[in-house]
């Protein structure tokens, strides 16, 4: 995430917030933030949200993630808000919304839905 300039802003049980600047190296051919950046921070926000509802000492692993790209990601930065939809012992269902910020206005650019699993210690 450091390569992308992404920062973990907040983690609460079942919720997480990650922000990343839209850097020149993260642009695709039309000048929008690349879907890879959008996916990376959305997946990470969903993962941190899931980690917040897992047993102490657990690690998290994405087993499946779908992305719907809703609008071109243009602006200065992206904000990913992850949340747990359904916590479980073996599977945690998650979502993340990614917004692009341009001139102080947020545009919803992606919705991710997926499944995380806990990797228990030992």
pLDDT at res. 120: 84
Architecture of the domain defined by 2-119: Roll (3.10)
Give me 32's structure tokens.
Answer: 């929008």
pTM of the model: 0.95
Return mean pLDDT, the chain: 96
Domain range annotation of the chain: 2-119
User: Is there a contact between 6 and 79 (Cβ–Cβ < 8 Å)?
Assistant: no
| pLDDT tens, residue by residue, 11-24 | 999 999 999 999 99
Tokens 């790209």 label which residue? 69
CB atoms within 10 A of CB 18: 28
Task: List, for residues 42-84, the tens digit of each pLDDT value.
Answer: 999 999 999 999 988 999 999 999 999 999 999 999 999 999 9
pLDDT at 1 over 90: no
């Amino acid at each position: 995430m450091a390569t992308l300039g992404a920062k973990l802003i907040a983690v609460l049980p079942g919720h997480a917030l990650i922000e990343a600047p839209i850097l020149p190296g993260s642009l695709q051919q039309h000048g929008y933030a690349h879907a890879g950046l959008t996916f990376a921070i959305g997946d990470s926000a969903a993962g941190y949200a899931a980690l917040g509802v897992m047993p102490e000492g657990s690690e998290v692993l994405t087993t499946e993630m779908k992305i719907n790209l809703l609008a071109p990601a243009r602006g200065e930065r992206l904000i990913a808000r992850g949340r747990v939809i359904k916590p479980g012992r073996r599977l945690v269902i998650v979502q993340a919304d990614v917004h692009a910020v341009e001139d102080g206005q947020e545009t919803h650019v992606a919705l991710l839905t997926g499944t995380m699993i806990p990797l228990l210690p030992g």
